[in-house]
Chain A
């Protein structure tokens, strides 16, 4: 579905933040990228979305740009559009009529537990509700590949767990492929089939790949009680600590 080969990325023209990264994402798999701050995780997502030009390397995919959806941490809804209009935006940009797009948006809002809030402006929604609207906005376009950059980092723990579970259920139901960037190792393991660990930047590399053999469909809470979870978390934590220590030593 998506293959990244020898990819190097930089904020400016000089120092690569990420160097020679290669990874493969199979169709219908859930893949996470974890790693220290400044290891180029977000840049990688932006490059896949075509928002950032790579220094070198290739990004190969059989998907058109319209089949890829992206959700950022600090996602902004259009403040002058209601929840339903925000969700309908992508559909309208694809040529749906306004009426049809708004009707479709309403079903997505209902699916994400926001039924009846269609006419609210973003200002009148809570942080969790805004996140759900942003999620509905992306999911309404039925992307085959969903890219997420710490999408729920700004939410409180309980809201975050609930939104994450709802997302996971939808992803499994729609057979979506997901590439998630996160700082949260437990979240990465609970959600993913494959976790990639990046080394510290600049010139970060993909240092390890872990497979998570927890069966689906999953529950984000009970997945953590699976026998494979604790050893994987320990290994991931140890390897990440080593990367962060390397960063400190280098600095």
Chain B
């Protein structure tokens, strides 16, 4: 037992179990109002109900598609605009002030506007996830390209490389490194955008379920949904981490 507790994760797990047990006990003893703080087992029951009845799947699918679509579009537009702005001064003059403005406001405030523009279906959620991701990636690529290591550029040039070689040997690998470095943040942003969008106005999705749980004062359902979102984002973080380790092996 003593030796088992030498492991960090075992100690952490033990602490969590003790905490949940105390919480459960306090709830059963009537020390906590279940309207505000539902017992862990009640949250677990809500989780089981969501998955057991299968009601969760269309909502998960809606949030997931909105987040992924927003992420992919945001990455594509952010990368293209970032490269163009870094290479073509005219594009930078037009795009940069606009991006700075978008970066300065908390972009989720655009959610109601997007509902008016794109309706309460998937479109407005994709748009919100997209705008969150695109601005982030734009700045990553734009500043990254302008700060690319001059020594590497000179090295390739003096070894006889032209524009194509510079792009292939220096700019693209740098670009991959910067973007992967921001990928986890971008994934988080994409889910934030999708869920906040659903929260504002939707007929499906985890955000919609959250909003429903709120209006019915169902704290157990709310906590269950938060757990699902956390698990989902952690899963995607793990995938992003694997991709990062694979593509950035050279970082050691």
Please determine whether A137 and B159 come into contact, CB atoms closer than 8 angstroms: yes
Report whether B156 and A89 are in contact in the complex, using a CB–CB cutoff of 8 Å: yes
Residue numbers in A under 8 Å from B157 (CB-CB)? 51
Max chain A Cβ within 10 angstroms of own Cβ: one of B152, B158, B161, B251:
B158
In this assembly, does A70 line the interface, its C-beta being within 8 Å of a C-beta of chain B? Answer: yes
CB-CB < 8 A to A75: which residues of B? 151, 155
- The interface-forming segment of A12-20, A76-84, A196-204, A241-249 is A76-84
Roughly how many angstroms separate A94 CA and B158 CA in the complex, as a whole number?
A: 12
Interface residues in A81-114 (C-beta closer than 8 Å to B): 81-82, 89-90, 93-94
Partner of B169, one of A74, A78, A123: A78
The residue from A77, A90, A121 contacting B249, defined by CB atoms under 8 A apart: A121
Q: Select one of B149, B152, B158, B248 contacting A49, CB under 8 A.
A: B158
List of A residues within 8 angstroms of B152 by Cβ: 76, 78
Given A76-B149, A78-B169, A89–B159 Cβ distance below 8 Å?
yes
CA distance A24 to B155 in the complex (A): 26
Q: Contacts of A81 on B, CB cut-off 8 Å? A: 169, 250
Asked if A51 meets B250 with Cβ closer than 8 Å, knowing A66-B160, A78-B170, A93-B159, the reply is: no
Known: A121-B250, A123-B250, A123-B252. A76 touches B155 (CB 8 A): yes
CB distance from A212 to the nearest CB of B (A): 28
Return the chain B residue nearest A77 by Cβ. B155
A152 interface hit (Cβ, 8 Å): no
With A72-B154, A78-B152, A123-B252 known to touch, is A90 a contact of B170 (CB < 8 Å)? Answer: no
User: B252 contacts A121, CB within 8 Å?
Assistant: yes
* Bound Cα distance from A130 to B157, whole angstroms: 19
| A interface residues, how many (CB within 8 angstroms) | 27
- Give the nearest-CB partner of A92 in chain B: B165
Q: Is A230 an interface residue (CB 8 A)?
A: no
B34 at interface, CB cutoff 8 A: no
By beta carbon, the residue of chain A nearest B173 is A80
As a 0/1 sequence over residues 135 to 164 of chain B, the CB contacts with chain A under 8 angstroms (1 = contact) are 000000000000001011011111111000
Please indicate the chain B residues that have their CB under 8 angstroms from the CB of A70 in the complex: 158
Number of B interface residues at 8 Å Cβ cutoff, please give it.
21
For B161, the chain A residues whose CB sits under 8 A away are 89, 93
The complex places the Cα of A66 from the Cα of B161 at a distance, in Å, of 10
Residues of B within 8 A of A66 (CB): 160
The reply to whether A74 and B249 form a contact with Cβ atoms under 8 Å apart is no
Q: Which residues of B contact A79 (CB under 8 A)?
A: 250-251
Q: How many residue pairs, one in A and one in B, have C-beta atoms under 8 Å apart?
A: 57
Q: Which of B151, B251, B252 contacts A76 (CB 8 A)?
A: B151
Of A66, A89, A94, the most chain B CB neighbours within 10 A belong to: A89
Q: Say yes or no: A51-B154 contact (C-beta < 8 A), given A121-B250, A121-B252, A123-B250.
A: yes
Q: How far is the CA of A123 from the CA of B177 in the complex (A)?
A: 15
Distance to closest chain A CB from B223 (angstroms): 44
Q: How far is the CA of A77 from the CA of B173 in the complex (A)?
A: 13
Task: Determine if A4 is an interface residue (Cβ-Cβ < 8 Å).
Answer: no
Whether the pair A90, B151 counts as a contact (CB closer than 8 A) is no
Q: Does A124 contact B (CB under 8 A)?
A: yes
A138 to B151, CA, bound (A): 15
- A161: Cβ under 8 A from any B Cβ: no
Tell whether A141 is near chain B: CB-to-CB under 8 Å.
Answer: yes
The answer, among B155, B156, B170, B251, for a CB contact under 8 Å with A123, is B251
Complex contacts, A122 vs chain B, CB 8 Å: 250
Measured in the bound complex, the distance between the Cα atoms of B157 and A70 in whole Å is 11
Tell me, in angstroms, the Cα distance from A154 to B89 when the chains sit together: 37
A35-79 vs B, CB cutoff 8 Å, 1 = contact: the mask equals 000000000000001010000000000000110011010111111
Q: How far is the CA of A93 from the CA of B165 in the complex (A)?
A: 7
Contact pick for A93, options B160, B170, B173, CB 8 Å:
B160
Binding site for A on B (CB under 8 A): 149, 151-152, 154-161, 165, 169-170, 173, 177, 248-252
Other than the given A72-B151, A72-B154, 7 more pairs (CB < 8 A) read A66-B160, A74-B151, A76-B155, A80-B177, A81-B250, A90-B160, A121-B252
Q: List 12 A-B contacts (CB under 8 A).
A: A49-B158, A51-B154, A69-B158, A75-B155, A76-B152, A79-B250, A81-B250, A82-B250, A90-B159, A121-B249, A123-B250, A124-B252
